[in-house]
Amino acid sequence: MSAAVRAEHLGFAYGGGSRAVFEDLTFQIDEGELFALIGPSGGGKSTLLRCMNGLVPHFHGGSFSGSIQVAGIDTRTRQPRDLAHVAGLVMQEPEAQVVARTVEDEIVFGMENLGASRTLIRKRLEEVLDALNIAALRVRELRSLSGGELQRVAIAAVLTMQPRVLLLDEPTAQLDPQAAEDVLNAAVNLCSDAGLTVVIAEHRLERLAQYAGRVMLVPGDGSVRIGAARDILRNRNEAPPVMRIGRRLAWSPVPLSVGEARRFAGARQSPAAPAPARGAAGERMIETRALEAFLGQHHALRGVSVALHAGEVVAVMGRNGAGKTTLLRALAGLLRPRSGEVIRHPGLRGGYTDLAFVAQDPSSLLYRESVRDEIADVLKGTHRGGDVDAVLAEWRLGPLAATHPVDLSVGQRQRTAIAAMLAGDPRVTLLDEPTRGMDHDTRELLVRNLRARRDRGAALALATHDVELAASVADRVVLLAEGEVVADGPAAEVLSDSITFSTQANKLFGGRVLTVEDAIAAARTGRTANGQPVTASTAIGGAP
């Protein structure tokens, strides 16, 4: 099979005397292949994608060695603009990639610059609107879109150019579960039907693993390892939950998907009694009452009443554009509602002394010369007590303390923004898509640190599409749809037996099983991890 991408003795290091991102890499990606890049934040996945479209070395500079060819074209001999019809890149931060005012204008911008005919432009526009299920957004202004909606528009704009190789950097990071499925299904169809090669760098592997033919592990030490998805992920911490369940229960072969795992798990459980509450909620810290909000002409919130309590983590979930970010911005005082009100508890000090808001674009929050300076600046500006070195240690940022934020990966910038804004333990914390760009280990660190703050009496709300994260950390889930609250209750209830908003463990076992730990306990003891009985027997093939 001919190569879509071929690298020979490829090496690269950014300027400033930094260590090599990778060294002496030789590999091939075949035409029509769906190829995945995995590994820790800052390991080099995004850099490798930028090598494939010529941004490295033409834009980023640095020390480049060896060669990489895309569709037979040596990237050293062509500028990125000349490779646009060959290698299309959708970056992690779509807000940095879009240029037009409306969705339609953005999608057709590239084709217009290539001088495509109006007939061809219209044809491709309709095709990508349907493929990514965004036809309803076609006349919307980009500034009114959610992060996930903007991400799909950016993918659509690149797809209309019909590149030979599609490069996607964290394409599902801001997408709701159904939108993520739409994007991955579109990628699979493009590979099988059109012979397109798709290379995806991704941390959220619960959907991607079953589709990827081969996986490249980029561990960050300059090397790579390539193999079948099952082989590479088998013993990795970032393996999808269903693989971790299968590994611990000795299922063979370890399943890549819920569908593969069903033959081991047998019948799903009948719903068990609701899990006991973690404890009575503390005092009400902040709330909205009958909130109505608009983004331009878009009716973003419709009569939303939600309260946050001390000692509680609330996950705000829903499809892209459901109103999650708008709700958090209203709670943070960054958006003036059309009607209704936001009420702070009388004990909360004004401004951001007792309240922290972390937007989904970490770059919008970082402006100092180093990670250390970012943290120190927040502690000084908010008048919270706190020690910079303690914050660096809590978030494992010590090795990056002197690094300028612009030199960090997206995941590292996200961790820096969260660490800085949460420095000094604010009493109310609002996080918008906090796991964007985060690798598995950093996500686990986030869970531990959020739980610790909850246990110290803070009120926390996070808008997220990461169902596995919500199951791990949330006490309560507020589910929004078209600006309205459609569910507000314990996580074990809202995230159970849902077609879209349920975890892999729950899809496999049902009942109140949400996490890997719940699944292991249910399989081995007939009880969930929190002690609730499993009400129907399950035969676990190969369980010890």
**What does the pLDDT look like over 432-453, one tens digit per residue?**
999 988 999 999 999 999 999 9
Mean pLDDT of 56-80: 92
Number of other residues whose CB lies within 10 A of the CB of residue 385: 9
Tell me: pLDDT of 474 over 70: yes
Tell me: pLDDT of 155 over 80: yes
**43: enclosing H helix or E strand:** none
Tokens for 304, please give them: 């939303």
The distance from CA 73 to its chain's CA centroid, rounded to whole angstroms, is 32
Tokens 């599902």 appear where? Answer: 172
Distance CA 68, CA 236 (A): 28
Tell me: pLDDT of 524 over 80: no
- Domains of the chain (ranges, CATH numbers): 3-239 (3.40.50.300), 240-271+512-544 (no CATH), 284-494 (3.40.50.300)
Radius of gyration of the chain (CA): 23
Distance CA 65, CA 503 (A): 43
Number of other residues whose CB lies within 10 A of the CB of residue 18: 12
Mean pLDDT taken over the chain: 89
What phi and psi, each to the nearest 5 degrees, are found at residue 141? -75, 145
CA atoms within 13 A on the CB side of 14: 17
By percentage, how much of the chain surpasses pLDDT 70? 93
Which of 346-355, 382-391, 414-423, 523-532 bottoms out in mean pLDDT, i.e. has the lowest?
A: 523-532
The distance from CA 481 to its chain's CA centroid, rounded to whole angstroms, is 20
Report the pLDDT value the prediction gives residue 397, as an integer from 0 to 100: 97
Mean pLDDT of 48-62: 91
Distance CA 377, CA 388 (A): 10
The distance from CA 486 to its chain's CA centroid, rounded to whole angstroms, is 23
Report the pLDDT value the prediction gives residue 67, as an integer from 0 to 100: 96
Q: 166 pLDDT band (50/70/90 cuts)? A: very high
CA angle 376-346-360, nearest 5°? 45
- Residue count of the chain: 544
Tell me: pLDDT of 272 over 60: no
Report the pLDDT value the prediction gives residue 264, as an integer from 0 to 100: 85
For 298: left if phi > 0, alpha if psi spans -120 to 50, otherwise beta; the answer is beta
Tokens 């402006």 appear where? Answer: 367
Distance CA 219, CA 21 (A): 10
Tell me: pLDDT of 532 over 70: no
Q: Which amino acid is at 470?
A: A
Number of other residues whose CB lies within 10 A of the CB of residue 143: 12
Tokens 């370890």 appear where? Answer: 254
Comparing 536 with 526, the larger pLDDT belongs to: 526
Tell me: pLDDT of 280 over 90: no
Tokens for 201, please give them: 């760098």
Q: DSSP letter string over 214-233? A: EEEE--SSB--EEEEHHHHH
Lay out the sheet containing 459-463: strands in order across: 355-358, 428-432, 459-463, 312-318, 476-481, 484-490
Q: 538 pLDDT band (50/70/90 cuts)? A: very low
Distance CA 39, CA 125 (A): 34
Lay out the sheet containing 87-90: strands in order across: 87-90, 165-169, 197-201, 34-38, 214-217, 225-228
Tell me: pLDDT of 266 over 80: no
Q: Beta strand 34-38 with 63-70: parallel, antiparallel or unpaired? A: unpaired
Mean pLDDT of 373-400: 95
Q: Beta strand 339-344 with 459-463: parallel, antiparallel or unpaired? A: unpaired
Q: 529 pLDDT band (50/70/90 cuts)? A: low
By percentage, how much of the chain surpasses pLDDT 90? 69
Distance CA 265, CA 284 (A): 42
CA angle 458-323-94, nearest 5°? 100
Residue 142 gets which letter from DSSP?
Answer: G
Q: 510 pLDDT band (50/70/90 cuts)? A: confident
What phi and psi, each to the nearest 5 degrees, are found at residue 344? -95, 145
For residues 460 and 429, is the Cβ–Cβ distance under 8 A?
yes
Which of 172-186, 236-250, 477-491 bottoms out in mean pLDDT, i.e. has the lowest?
A: 172-186
CA angle 412-413-419, nearest 5°? 90
Distance CA 513, CA 271 (A): 9
Q: 428 pLDDT band (50/70/90 cuts)? A: very high
Distance CA 160, CA 111 (A): 7
Report the pLDDT value the prediction gives residue 270, as an integer from 0 to 100: 45
Report the pLDDT value the prediction gives residue 218, as an integer from 0 to 100: 94
Tell me: pLDDT of 534 over 60: no
Distance CA 490, CA 479 (A): 11
Tokens for 310, please give them: 């001390």
Q: DSSP letter string over 244-291? A: HHHHHTT-SSPPSSHHHHHHHH-SPBPPPPPPPPSS----EEEEEEEE
For residues 294 and 300, is the Cβ–Cβ distance under 8 A?
yes
User: Residues with Cβ < 8 Å from 89, sequence gap 6 or more?
Assistant: 49, 50, 52, 53, 55, 158, 167, 169
Tell me: pLDDT of 77 over 80: yes
Which of 242-246, 329-333, 369-373, 511-515 bottoms out in mean pLDDT, i.e. has the lowest?
A: 511-515
pLDDT digits (tens, 9 = 90+) for 305-315: 999 999 999 99
Report the pLDDT value the prediction gives residue 539, as an integer from 0 to 100: 34
Output the CA–CA distances (angstroms, integers) from residue 4 to 73, 489, 506, in the order listed: 10, 49, 39
- Nearest CA-CA partner of 445 in 37, 36, 41, 21: 41
**448: enclosing H helix or E strand:** helix 440-455
Terminal CA-CA length for the chain: 43
